[in-house]
């Protein structure tokens, strides 16, 4: 199966955002896709140690703070955050996240 339907259930709902993880592990172990919804803000700043994150803004608007620099974004924008950078985001947005390599919780550091 090469066409993956949007998952019906949320795989996580924490720190100000929730997401649906697309089940692509049977096709590739090299990348991951997550549909993320944020109503206001990500409650913490995080640093992803291993994954490059590419967020495509599907709907809404807001901004990302990457290494303390604010970057405004709207639907149609692609936000690229290479591994090792600290970031958070705020706004009302629907995002498609591509994680390369696939994300695991132990790779992520929460900075309060």
pTM: 0.93
| Model pLDDT for residues 62-99, shown as the tens digit of each residue | 999 999 999 999 999 999 999 999 999 999 999 999 99
What's the rounded Cα separation, in Å, for the pair 19 and 96? Answer: 9
The Cα–Cα gap between 14 and 110 comes to: 12
Distance CA 50, CA 37 (A): 23
pLDDT in tens, 50-60: 999 999 999 99
């Amino acid at each position: 199966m090469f066409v993956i339907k949007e998952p019906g259930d949320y795989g996580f709902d924490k720190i100000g955002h929730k997401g649906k993880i697309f089940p692509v592990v049977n096709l590739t172990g090299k990348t991951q896709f997550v549909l993320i919804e944020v109503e206001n803000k990500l409650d913490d700043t995080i640093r992803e140690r291993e994954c490059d994150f590419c967020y495509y803004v599907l709907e809404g608007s807001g901004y990302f703070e990457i290494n303390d620099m604010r970057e405004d974004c709207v639907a149609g924008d692609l936000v690229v955050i290479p591994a090792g950078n600290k970031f958070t985001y705020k706004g009302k947005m629907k995002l498609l996240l591509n994680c390369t390599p696939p994300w695991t919780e132990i790779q992520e550091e929460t900075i309060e």
